[in-house]
Amino acid sequence: MLLCMDNASQYEVSLLSAIHMLARAWGRVKDETIANCFRACCFIPSGADDDASCTVGEEDTSELDVDGLLPALGNVPFEEYIATDSSVETCGALLDAEIVEMVRPSEPSHETEVGDAAVASEPLPRAADVAAGLALA
């Protein structure tokens, strides 16, 4: 793409070429880069070995004060504590007509059609023009 911009030629990206570019970009990412991202987001403790495998099924409760959790609930049963927000309505119930209105495309007015025709008749800038404009900014 950069070569096409330098030569002022136009480059079209098809779905297949976009998939190839994506696969090539992911292929260039190193394993240690991904591990560092997980470590930076605290998914992996910073002192953990890179070669250490995750054991499924084991729970790490070393940072939790399990003995302090139940007294903090007071007289509230644990099941009630868990179900506290199950009856909270997170969004309003929509009627079928409202859902249809949301997904139905709006009908364009005559003014919009004239504006769209004017926009469609304007030629798109070439990649070289875009690159030159960005270089000035």
Q: Is the CB of residue 131 less than 8 Å from the CB of residue 5?
A: yes
What's the count of helices (H) and strands (E) in the chain, helices before strands? 8, 0
Question: Is residue 30 in some structural domain?
Answer: yes
Residue 29 domain-assigned? yes
State residue 103 phi and psi, 5-degree precision: -95, -15
Domain assignment of residue 59, yes or no? no
> Which of 137, 126, 133 has the alpha carbon at shortest distance from 4?
126
CB burial of 25-48 (b: ≥16 within 10 Å; e: otherwise) equals: eeeeeeeeeeeeeeeeeeebeeee
The pLDDT assigned to 23 comes to 94
* 35: in domain: yes
Q: For 76-130, what is each residue's pLDDT tens digit?
A: 887 887 888 888 777 777 888 888 888 888 776 555 555 555 556 778 878 888 8
Q: What is the total count of domains within the chain?
A: 1
Within-domain flag for 19: yes
Domain that holds residue 7: 1-49
Task: Provide the pLDDT for residue 16.
Answer: 92
- pLDDT, position 55: 47
